[in-house]
Structure formats: structure tokens, C-alpha cells
Amino acid sequence: MDTQQLALVFPGQGSQKVGMLAELGESFSIVKNTFAEASDALGYDMWDLVQNGEQAQLNLTETTQPVLLTASVAVWRLWGEQGGLRPSLLAGHSLGEFSALVCAGAIEFADAVRLVRSRGQYMQTAVPVGEGAMAAVLGLDDAQIVQICAEAAAGTGVVEAVNFNSPGQVVIAGQVAAVDKAIELLKAAGAKRAMPLPVSAPFHTSLMRPAGEKLALALADITVRQPSIPVVHNVHGKTESDPGAIKALLVEQIYSAVKWVDCVETMVSAGINTTIECGPGKVLSGLNKRINKSLNGLNIESPASLAAALDFIR
């Protein structure tokens, strides 16, 4: 296939699981070597944690973020080592945007691993545990959800639409009472489902601004280069080549909605007909197909899925 038709995409929080990439790690040394690099950067054995740790520990935001970034970079490196086609675009969902920027050569891997651990800490401490909530909403259009969140927020606190994942699938987040009120109103308005998510903070809301301020300070000490492959950014669904602007987008992303539908539509408009998800799970592959039925969606998390992806692009 033509390189112009391929994009690689990188998952965000929620895709982590104990034992992920186990078969790839046993089959290809580059996978374990990538985890060893990350372990050196953070000072603990990340591969051991991923294979033998507790799911509860993997789900801690400050652990989840470096673990998923490392898994994605390991798969990206393996893809290149095995002769995989160089994509014309990269994109990642929330945390996955950092993975994309590492793979595009914009941020050094060790810097990114440390940065996203800090990002996780900043996000977790921006709102005390128990005060924030998130919920997935199915079956209403985006404008309706935004409007109902505004109604629910009046007098109860912050609740906002934060992930536009696919048509008819939006995630809302905010303070517990406001999210509960929004769920009640959304169900009354005919939502097929409005269900709380098992997360520990209201990610991508305006409540995350303090985390954004801390991330900006951390980014000031990190070198960001122009990406060698364009990365589509969550904040506006466009690419950006200026390193200063990329830093600003990474800060803004922490307290802004993830516009994944826009990201995928940008890729399709650029001629992409195939996306390959690098890392555990198939969440993005499923969303991408719902956004545009013509897209081919593959993922790489095992030797079999790697072989299938390599066969597909040849």
C-alpha cells in the first residue's frame, strides 16, 4: 500500500492490563529493551510490574501513563524493525498523543516517560480523590450533551463534555454532584446509556487547569523538536510543526476536550484509509471504524496481530 494511506495511532488510559505485550516481549527483544529503558528512567522494573503486578497498581494514573507510553513506543520500534511501512500521520488519544510525539522524534523517550509520570501525578492531585467523576454517554448527539451539561452545571458545579470519541459516544466529567445530575438529565433526554466510569479524577475538564500549569513548568525543561512525521493533536484535530506550539497544545490538552472524531476526520481527509493501533487493546480501532466505516483498523499487541498488520500493508 501507499505510505500516504497509513496512520499509526496510540491508545490512552483504560487500555492497560496485567500481562499486556507478554508474547511480544518473549518473541522480540526490542520490546523488553524498550521497557528496560523506561525502567532506567523511572527507577523501577516496569516490565515486572506490567507482567506480575496488581491491576490496581497499573490503574494508578501516575503508573498507567508511563506504562502505556512505553508499550506504545515498544510496538512502534518493533514495527520499524520488522520492516513495517512508515506512516504519513500519527495520532494518539489523550496520553497517546505523547506516545505519538515520541515516535515522531519530537520528544526523547526517557524525557517523555518521566514527563507523563509527572503528568499523571499532576492530574491526580488537581482534584482530591472522591470529588471528581467521569461517565460515558451513548445515543445522543454532541450538541445535546453539551447543552445538558451546561444545565446540570448550573448550581451543582463543573460538568463538561470531555471526550468526543465517535458519533453517539461522548464522555463527560466534572464534580461528582454535577456529573450525577447530568446523568439523570441525559437519561431523561433519551440517552441509551449514561454510566459512571471507574476513574479517579475528572480528566480533560477545566478542573485540570492546575495540572496544566504544573505541566507547563515541567515542559519548560524539555526539548521538543519538529516532528519527523506530522502528529494530529487532540485539542483542535490538526497537525502542528512548531515546537513551542506543540508544548502549548500539550498543556491545553490536559484541561480541554479530546476531539478524537476531528482527529480521525483529518486523517481521512488527508487520504488515510488504514490505521494501526500500537499497544494493548483495540479501543481506537473500534472508535475509528464508527467514525468512518471505510477505514481499515488493525492493532498490534501480539505476534499474531503483528504478522497480520505486516501482511496487510504489503
Q: What is the pLDDT of residues 224-279, one digit of tens each?
A: 999 999 999 999 999 999 999 999 999 999 999 999 999 999 999 999 999 999 99
Question: Among 3-7, 37-41, 47-51, where is mean pLDDT lowest?
Answer: 3-7
What b/e sequence results for 150-170 when a residue is b if at least 16 CB atoms lie within 10 Å of its CB, and e otherwise? eebbeebbbbbbbbbbbeebb
Q: Which three cell numbers stand for residue 146?
A: 453539551
Order of strands across the sheet with 193-196? 159-166, 169-175, 132-138, 193-196
Mean pLDDT, residues 197-208: 89
Q: Is 304 helix (H, G, I), strand (E, B) or coil?
A: helix
Q: Which three cell numbers stand for residue 112?
A: 517523555
What is the C-alpha R_g of the chain? 19
Q: What is the dihedral of CA 223, 229, 230, 231, to 10 degrees?
A: -70
Specify the pLDDT at position 215: 98
Is 204 one of the annotated active-site residues of the chain? yes
Whole-angstrom Cα distance, residue 182 to residue 241?
38
- Whole-model pTM: value is 0.96
Question: Among 48-57, 111-120, 198-207, 256-265, where is mean pLDDT lowest?
Answer: 198-207
CB 28 within 8 A of CB 109: no
Tell me which amino acid residue 52 is: N
Is 236 one of the annotated active-site residues of the chain? no
> Alpha-carbon torsion 262, 264, 270, 271, what sign?
negative
Q: What is the pLDDT of residues 142-186, one digit of tens each?
A: 999 999 999 999 989 999 999 999 999 999 999 999 999 999 999
Mean pLDDT, residues 107-117: 98
- Find the length of the chain: 314
Enumerate domains of the chain plus CATH numbers. 3-126+207-313 (3.40.366.10), 132-199 (3.30.70.250)
CB 118 within 8 A of CB 38: no
- Residue 86: CB atoms within 10 Å: 11
* Alpha carbon distances (Å) from 248 to 50, 113, 139, 217: 31, 19, 33, 11
Instruction: Give Cα 63 distance to the centre of its chain.
Output: 14
Q: What is the mean pLDDT of the chain?
A: 96
Tell me which amino acid residue 189 is: A
Q: Going by C-beta distance under 8 Å and a sequence separation of 6 or more, which residues neighbour residue 40? A: 110
Specify the pLDDT at position 282: 94
Whole-angstrom Cα distance, residue 98 to residue 95?
6
Q: Which of 94, 166, 256, 305 is catalytic?
A: 94
Residue 282 belongs to what H/E stretch?
A: none
The percentage of residues in the chain with a pLDDT greater than 90, rounded to a whole number, is 91
Residue 3 has pLDDT above 80, yes or no: no
Q: Which of 39, 88, 118, 204 is catalytic?
A: 204
